Chain A
């Protein structure tokens, strides 16, 4: 069974540009979570999608947005990139209700110069 996949592995952007990160959950999982992990810090919750709907959002500005497609894959968009957006972005998927075990992808390393 394939795990959670994320693309691209690395992404280098210039301040002010837009970044698009992609995530494919484990087959059968309907929920996708996005986290930001800045260097040396813990994970900060960004967004939760379930059955195509945004269910919860972390304390991030509106330029962080995303969506979930009918096949449950998800996209995270970051507009007007700032230097402090440089981080590892992790996607996780779950089967069932919130609060269960989360399965993580390998992450996308975003560098903003």
Chain B
């Protein structure tokens, strides 16, 4: 299976703490994207990092990419209760012409 894996499967933290989730994938990629999903609804795009980039920031989000290890991490700083959601990484490789999603990390941020 091409599907990536995310670690941890679930994460529970307090508001104000940082949350880190990791994504590993199996094939070459052109880019890697992170999405958020609230309560089994549609996904919202968070950030896209290209294969030649190593780090990218967007507000409280920081994404790193290590293509040699085929892994990425998403850091959410100063978490809020509203960050409670499932987070998915998705990889794109031009040869496959599709996004391959990971299994997701369920994040719970308690007030």
Contacts and interface: CB of A to CB of B under 8 A. Distances in A.
A106 B42 contact: yes
A43 B88 contact: yes
Contacts of B90: 43
Given A101-B33, A102-B99, A106-B42, A42 B94 contact: no
Interface string B81-111: 0000000101010101111111110000000
Nearest to B86: A42
A45 B99 contact: yes
Interface residues of B, number: 25
B43 interface: yes
Nearest to A91: B42
Task: Please give me the 5 A-B residue pairs with the lowest Cβ-Cβ distance, nearest first.
Answer: A104-B42, A99-B92, A43-B101, A104-B43, A101-B45
12 contacts: A4-B42, A33-B99, A37-B40, A42-B104, A45-B98, A45-B101, A58-B98, A98-B94, A98-B98, A99-B94, A99-B99, A106-B42
